Amino acid sequence: MKLTEIAKIIGANFDGVDFEIDSMNTLKDAQGNELSFVASSKYVKDIASSNAGAMIVDVKTLEEVPEGCVALVVQNPYWEMAELSKYFAPPIENNTLPSPIIGSNTTISDKAEIANGAIIGENCTVMAHVYIGTDAVVGNNTVLHPSVTVYRDCKIGNDCMIHAGTVIGSDGFGFATNKLGEHKKIYQNGNVIVEDDVEIGSNCTFDRAVFGSTLIKKGVRIDNLVHIGHNCEIGEYSVLVGQSGFAGSTTMGRNTVFGAQSGAAGHLEIAPFNTFAARTGVTKSIKESGLTFAGFPVMGHRSWLKLQGKLARLIK
């Protein structure tokens, strides 16, 4: 879209040199042909180093916008970003693309549906009621059990197994709210990438990223009924046990273990080689490695055991 079109949609004044905006992105990742935004004061520190060609800001952050970047001033940048996101959303399906490409020795059920533009590798098994969306990619030697759904643009690696009912790439839980309490959907225009040698249990849900990718790295093992929010990154060889859940933009290092019904709040960083016992609630970033945690809010496992012992004695 032209910058003049964007300014008109969000009600911002713009009278500079017009140019084409290809997409939207975060302050850190945006390039000169992309539009970014300042959602809250905690992102002000990222403005000066951003390479965005244009930026949606309010009056308070206008002075922070670097020279050469076009500032579009509005009252509520987050709300206007949500409004614009639908204009940059690709079509759910695109029947103008070529027929799907299917690798040799791949078996696909007559009851499966493969959208145009999809690519499936060699020696795969795609069972009944599987749906693979536009421009999705499935690697070699991968098995998709019945009723697995892989949304558009998502990528599944080699040697993976995904069990029945799991959904890869559904929309992340993202919306903006105005002063009246009304909600506006933020279109999730990223994707999900599942790397090689990943096994995913049944009825799991992996949200696609707002921008960029939700990433499940090599060798991860995921139990049934696990939810992974948008823009999360699950480190290599991590283990996520049943009913665990992770809010958006949480990053965990390799060989992290989360027990049943445990989970993490959003925008956290979890160091590698840590273990979280069942029902642990992680509410802060974990910087140290090689430890075991428990409880809500999270604490060292040994401290949690002592606390439980003291509580048990109090009620006798």
Q: What is the pLDDT of residues 90-108, one digit of tens each?
A: 999 999 999 999 999 999 9
SS3 55: strand
Which pLDDT score is estimated for 19?
A: 94
Residue 310 covered by a domain: no
What's the pLDDT tens digit per position in 250-295?
999 999 999 999 999 999 999 999 999 999 999 999 999 999 999 9
- Calculate the average pLDDT of the chain: 96
What whole-number distance in Å separates Cα of residue 117 and Cα of residue 228? 26
Name the domain boundary from 40, 67, 88: 88
Residue type (1 letter), 234: I
Residue 95 covered by a domain: no
What's the pLDDT tens digit per position in 168-194?
999 999 999 999 999 999 999 999 999
- Among 145, 163, 227, 230, the one annotated catalytic: 230
Residue 93 covered by a domain: no
Name the domain boundary from 37, 62, 88: 88
Q: How many domains does the chain have?
A: 2
What whole-number distance in Å separates Cα of residue 236 and Cα of residue 223? 15
Residue 38 covered by a domain: yes
Residue 316 covered by a domain: no
Q: Where are the alpha helices (DSSP H) in 149-219?
A: none
Residue 41 gets which letter from DSSP? G
Q: Which two tokens stand for residue 184?
A: 């506006």
Co-location of 265 and 124 in the same domain: yes
Q: How many CB atoms lie within 10 A of CB 25?
A: 23
Contact 75, 58 (CB under 8 A): yes
What whole-number distance in Å separates Cα of residue 238 and Cα of residue 47? 34
Co-location of 174 and 62 in the same domain: no
Co-location of 117 and 200 in the same domain: yes
Co-location of 43 and 191 in the same domain: no
Q: Domain range for residue 17? A: 3-88
Contact 131, 92 (CB under 8 A): no
Co-location of 156 and 19 in the same domain: no
Going across the sheet that includes 54-57, the strands are 23-24, 34-37, 54-57, 70-73
Share of the chain above pLDDT 90, in %: 91
Co-location of 166 and 143 in the same domain: yes
Ranking 6-15, 153-162, 211-220, 240-249 by mean pLDDT, the lowest is 6-15
Contact 115, 134 (CB under 8 A): yes
Which pLDDT score is estimated for 42?
A: 83
Which pLDDT score is estimated for 33?
A: 94
Q: Which two tokens stand for residue 193?
A: 């990438």
Q: Which two tokens stand for residue 6?
A: 């964007």
Co-location of 111 and 252 in the same domain: yes
Name the domain boundary from 67, 88, 109: 88
Which pLDDT score is estimated for 150?
A: 98
Q: Using pLDDT thresholds of 50, 70 and 90, give the confidence band for residue 15.
A: confident
User: What CATH number is associated with residue 11?
Assistant: 3.40.1390.10
**Does residue 227 carry a catalytic annotation?**
no
The reported pTM is: 0.93
Query: Quick one: average pLDDT of 140-167?
Result: 98
Q: Longest Cα pair distance anywhere in the chain, in angstroms?
A: 76
Co-location of 72 and 192 in the same domain: no
